[in-house]
Structure 1
Amino acid sequence: MPTIKKFQVTFDCAEPERVARFWCEVLGYVVPPPPEGFTTWDEYARSLPPEEQDSWFACVDPSGVGPRLFFQRVPEGKAVKNRVHLDVRVGTGLVGEERLATLQAECARLVALGATTVQVLLADEDNESCIVMQDIEGNEFCLD
């Protein structure tokens, strides 16, 4: 019988800490404590060579259930649609107008944090409503 493996989701981005803190707000994640021997992440960053400072950041599910999110600085900007995206499940179990209202309320909260609404997909005979969005650096995700 295969074992379940832990995994992390990695984002390429220009500003790792900024994007990580956005996703903390979206998902209720937290920034983990700095490495042993450092009292703050800033103190840790100052201990690194200049080219490595601010090159990555991470956030974690405080319950320990969800995957760690890792954000790494890359030199190039986003050029094409993501091949993988997150579905933020805020409407699970809801249908019709109640689901759409819940998705729209969460969408408004995330837009206030810097997200962008791309498209509202209304329910049809096969699927419930969802909202396609982008985070603060243009990475697509769905409110589902």
Structure 2
Amino acid sequence: MTTHWTLTVDCRDPALVARFWCTALGYTEADPPQGWDTWQAWLTELNVPEDEWNDGASISDPDGVLPSISFLKVPEPRTGKNRLHLDLQVAGGRAQPQHLREQRIRSKAEALIAAGATVVREVPMEGSSTLDHLWMQDPEGNDFCVV
């Protein structure tokens, strides 16, 4: 039997990071809990002070297939390299022509840079100068790759 799971990202500004990952993954803001029309109504009903409303955010796959991702506000900045990261698989795999793979990787990277990401490094295929993937960071410095 499998276990239901989600991924949680610690960050300083959950709304900012959630918006970025919506763009990166094609996700949408998660719906409010059943019985509430908006997150604001839910937070108000639970008497959560307004200054705590950005303490978390959640995004979900609009098709309801892939796991949800939550973003939790923490006081400390990121201090080291991620031990877990996402690979955005946009190139179609190594069986695709290299020029097409590189075009897809660079196109996705351009959109992500416009959304606040930065490129850390272009990573070539082993023993080659041909692009394999881009190592990037989201607006708060969380690592991910565009492959």
Q: TM-score normalised to the size of structure 1?
A: 0.88
User: Does 11-20 or 51-60 show the bigger shift?
Assistant: 51-60
* Contact 1:95/1:128 (<8 A) preserved: no
Q: Distance in 1 between matches of 2:62 and 2:134?
A: 26
Shift of 1:77: 0.6
Matched, 1:21 2:19: yes
Shift of 1:39: 2.6
Shift of 1:38: 3.2
Q: Distance in 2 between matches of 1:120 and 1:70?
A: 28
The root-mean-square deviation of aligned C-alpha atoms, in Å, is 2.0
Shift of 1:42: 2.9
* Contact 1:57/1:70 (<8 A) preserved: yes
SS of 1:22's partner is helix
Structure 2 unaligned segments of length 5 or more: list them: none
Whichever residue aligns with residue 6 of structure 2, its letter is Q
Structure 1 consecutive aligned stretches of length 4 or more whose deviation exceeds 6 Å = none
Q: Distance in 2 between matches of 1:112 and 1:51?
A: 29
Identify which of 114, 131, 140 aligns with 2:143: 140
Whichever residue aligns with residue 22 of structure 1, its letter is F
Identify which of 6, 9, 14 aligns with 2:7: 9
**1:43-58 paired onto structure 2 within 5 Å:** 43-46=41-44, 47-50=47-50, 52-58=52-58
Matched, 1:130 2:133: yes
Percentage of matched positions with identical amino acids: 37
Match of 2:80 in 1: 80
Q: How many residues align?
A: 142
SS of 2:37's partner is coil
User: Does 100-109 or 85-94 show the bigger shift?
Assistant: 85-94
Q: Distance in 1 between matches of 2:15 and 2:75?
A: 15
